[in-house]
Amino acid sequence: MEWISTKEVSPTVMTLTGKCKIDFNEWYKKKQYDRLILGWIELPPSMQWGVYVDFFDSRRILISTSALTLSETYIFDIGINRNVEYWGDNFKTMNEARTAAIEKANEIYNYPI
């Protein structure tokens, strides 16, 4: 398991790059999510997060976030084929944890085999 260090992340910008972005756009159109009244950019981060989770799940990359109530911080973990492989902690907000999780999932997806 690899630990992801906490870094400054934008709490509202979850973006994909490379092959991941291309495959996501194709998947998104097939799901007909592009027929939503609001455009992607207009969706709140929590709604974007849900769509990203569905996309990565369809690729067997499982993402979750949690709140640690005693320490008032947030964490994420990423599983590949049901094994937890990556996790990150000590984020101040849920959106920061979500953004870091999407960044790591994007990196995993784009990793050359």
> 36 or 106: whose pLDDT is higher?
106
Find tokens 């207009």 and name the residue.
Answer: 42
Mean pLDDT of 46-52: 90
Per-residue model confidence as pLDDT tens digits over 52-95: 999 999 999 999 999 887 778 888 888 887 676 888 878 888 89
> 8 or 42: whose pLDDT is higher?
42
Q: In what order do the strands lie in the sheet with 83-91?
A: 2-4, 83-91, 73-80, 61-68
Query: What's the predicted TM-score (pTM) here?
Result: 0.80
Question: Domains, the chain, ranges and CATH?
Answer: 2-110 (3.30.160)
> 74 or 41: whose pLDDT is higher?
74
**Phi, psi (degrees; rounded to nearest 5) at 104:** -70, -40
Find tokens 């994007």 and name the residue.
Answer: 106
